[in-house]
């Protein structure tokens, strides 16, 4: 089996472990069953969750058995935020979100095919509502709560921060008991001896290790382990996974495949080496070659393109990735706009300067007005100069008449217009 620890270290993924040598030995003796939890605090995973989902997949490819645990029960409470109480969502909303997360997580891991015999490395997709939903208040306090020290809980960084500010409800304060008990149940039911998570989860994970020791005596599967991954930040200081329009979601209804692709394609050259190591399944040699291309020929954006294609295919499928690539080329004059998938074209135009207008094509203003209203040029007079200088394009065809208007035949799929100033500045008009 692949030495997964060496691979994770090279990729810069390991932040903390309980005992690296013991963990390495357990993995070498494997296969090891490991898990990571994903609470449904929104209707979709976002790109920040990819680190954990793909790390589970790396362990599976290295010969181990991953469990993706969706928090149908813990999601009713929510892991404490550092600065404010979480909004509690309705049980119906949580159930819907759990279903969404299960569908998304299933695309990253290999499960037992229907009718086939399970293999030791086949993934499991579980919901902690299966056991936490049956837990009584007396059971929680008597069987689990007695193993937790209030002193230690109060010393946790998140708790201290909240107590110094607006305070914290008992609901959020008790979250660590539930997550720790998840680890106990998975240890009992599936022989799970490793939990992974972001480095901000270290306290919760190690509390689970301690609870396994206290409740199970580390028997019969031996001591459990913990491993956390580094939290990502961008080189420019902004939060990873955020754009001007908000979080980058895995759900195509919340973040289109085109916008998802562009998020990775537009990665800063300073960030792309880390992103490749954390998010790509390419070999070390391939990644180092792409890193070298970024240094030698940054304008080609070879590494960004490779990562964008790999992740868009993984999350949205090969066909959607092809649609996105064709749209990207066509918008900049290297393809036929009329042949593009209409949904992809519409999503692409929403990611560039654009204007949405009501009415029919006959009611649209002249092209110079449209260029100005999209923001491609600062004014109508600038639009006229752009046309006169040969730098204005409508649907990739050069515009030569400063009085030009749009006709019915110009509309793509009956509602879209692609405007371009020069080679790289693209805008759009969308008829509602």
Q: What is the pLDDT of residues 177-189, one digit of tens each?
A: 999 999 999 999 9
Distances (CA, A) of 359 to 45, 345, 405, 429, 432: 37, 20, 15, 12, 7
Top-confidence residue, 50 or 86:
50
pLDDT confidence bin for 422, thresholds 50/70/90: very high
Residue 214: what pLDDT?
97
CA distance 123 to 243: 32
Residue 2 has pLDDT above 70, yes or no: no
Residue 145: what pLDDT?
96
% of the chain residues with pLDDT over 70: 100
* pLDDT tens digit sequence for 368-419: 999 999 999 999 999 999 999 999 999 999 999 999 999 999 999 999 999 9
* C-alpha distance across the termini of the chain, in Å: 56
Top-confidence residue, 308 or 432:
308
* pLDDT tens digit sequence for 204-224: 999 999 999 999 999 999 999
pLDDT confidence bin for 83, thresholds 50/70/90: confident
Residue 82 has pLDDT above 80, yes or no: no
* pLDDT tens digit sequence for 271-294: 999 999 999 999 999 999 999 999
pLDDT confidence bin for 255, thresholds 50/70/90: very high
Provide the mean pLDDT of the chain.
93
Residue 390: what pLDDT?
95
Judged by DSSP in three states, 195 sits in strand
* pLDDT tens digit sequence for 132-177: 999 999 999 999 999 999 999 998 888 888 888 888 999 989 999 9
Residue 412: what pLDDT?
93
DSSP secondary structure letters along 295-356: HH-GGG-HHHHHHHHHHHHHHH-HHHHHHHHHHHHHHTTSS-GGGS-HHHHHHHHTTSSEEE
* CA atoms in the 13 A half-sphere facing the CB of 146: 6
DSSP classification of residue 249: B
Residue 203: what pLDDT?
92
* pLDDT tens digit sequence for 308-335: 999 999 999 999 999 999 999 898 888 8
pTM over 0.85: yes
* CA atoms in the 13 A half-sphere facing the CB of 26: 21
CA distance 97 to 269: 35
pLDDT confidence bin for 266, thresholds 50/70/90: very high
Angle (nearest 5°) at CA 197 between 33 and 178? 85
Angle (nearest 5°) at CA 248 between 331 and 124? 120
Residue 416: what pLDDT?
94
Q: Around Cβ 94, how many Cβ atoms within 10 Å? A: 21
CA distance 351 to 81: 31
Residue 130: what pLDDT?
96
The residue-averaged pLDDT of 221-239 equals: 90
* pLDDT tens digit sequence for 13-66: 999 999 999 999 999 998 999 999 999 999 999 999 999 999 999 999 999 999
Residue 242 has pLDDT above 80, yes or no: no
DSSP classification of residue 192: E
Place of tokens 């309705």: 90
Helix (H) or strand (E) holding 124: strand 124-127
What is the pairing mode between strands 33-38 and 192-198? Answer: parallel
**Bond prior to 233 in cis (omega within 30° of 0):** no
Residue 243 has pLDDT above 80, yes or no: no
Residue 337 has pLDDT above 60, yes or no: yes
% of the chain residues with pLDDT over 90: 82
């Amino acid at each position: 089996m692949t030495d997964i620890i060496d691979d994770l270290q090279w990729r810069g993924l390991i932040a903390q472990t309980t005992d690296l040598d013991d963990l390495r030995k357990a993995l070498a003796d494997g296969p090891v069953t490991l898990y990571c939890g994903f609470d449904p605090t929104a209707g979709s995973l976002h790109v920040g969750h990819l680190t954990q989902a793909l790390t589970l997949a790396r362990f599976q490819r290295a010969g181990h058995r991953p469990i993706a645990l969706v928090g149908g029960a813990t999601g009713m409470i929510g892991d404490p935020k550092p600065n404010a109480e979480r909004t509690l969502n309705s049980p119906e909303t949580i159930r819907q979100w759990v279903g969404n997360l299960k569908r998304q997580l299933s695309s990253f891991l290999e499960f037992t095919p229907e009718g086939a015999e399970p293999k030791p490395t086949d993934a499991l997709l579980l919901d902690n509502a299966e056991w936490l939903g049956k837990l009584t208040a007396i059971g929680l306090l008597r069987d689990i709560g007695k193993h937790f020290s209030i002193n230690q809980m109060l010393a946790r960084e998140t708790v201290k921060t909240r107590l110094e500010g607006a305070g914290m409800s008992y609901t959020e304060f008790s979250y660590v008991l539930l997550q720790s008990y998840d680890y106990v149940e998975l240890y009992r039911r599936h022989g799970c001896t490793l939990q992974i998570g972001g480095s901000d989860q270290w306290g919760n994970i190690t509390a689970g290790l301690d609870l396994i020791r206290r409740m199970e005596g580390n028997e019969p599967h031996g001591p459990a382990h913990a491993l956390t991954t580094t939290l990502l930040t961008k080189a420019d200081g902004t939060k990873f996974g955020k754009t001007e329009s908000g979080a980058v979601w895995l759900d195509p209804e919340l973040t289109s495949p085109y916008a998802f692709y562009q998020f990775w394609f537009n990665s800063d050259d300073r960030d792309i080496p880390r992103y490749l190591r954390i998010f790509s399944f390419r070999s070390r040699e391939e990644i180092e070659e792409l890193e070298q291309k970024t240094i030698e020929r940054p304008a080609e954006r070879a590494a960004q393109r490779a990562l964008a294609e790999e992740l868009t295919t993984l999350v949205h499928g090969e066909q959607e990735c092809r649609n996105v690539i064709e749209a990207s080329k066509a918008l900049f004059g290297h393809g036929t706009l009329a042949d593009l998938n209409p949904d992809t074209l519409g999503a692409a135009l929403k990611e560039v300067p654009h204007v949405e207008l009501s009415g029919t094509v006959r009611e649209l203003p002249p092209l110079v007005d449209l260029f100005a209203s999209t923001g491609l040029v600062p004014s109508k007079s600038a639009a006229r100069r752009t046309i006169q200088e040969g730098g204005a394009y409508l649907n990739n065809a050069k515009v030569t008449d400063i009085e030009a208007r749009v006709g019915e035949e110009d509309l793509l799929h009956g509602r879209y217009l692609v405007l371009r100033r020069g080679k790289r500045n693209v805008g759009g008009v969308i008829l509602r």
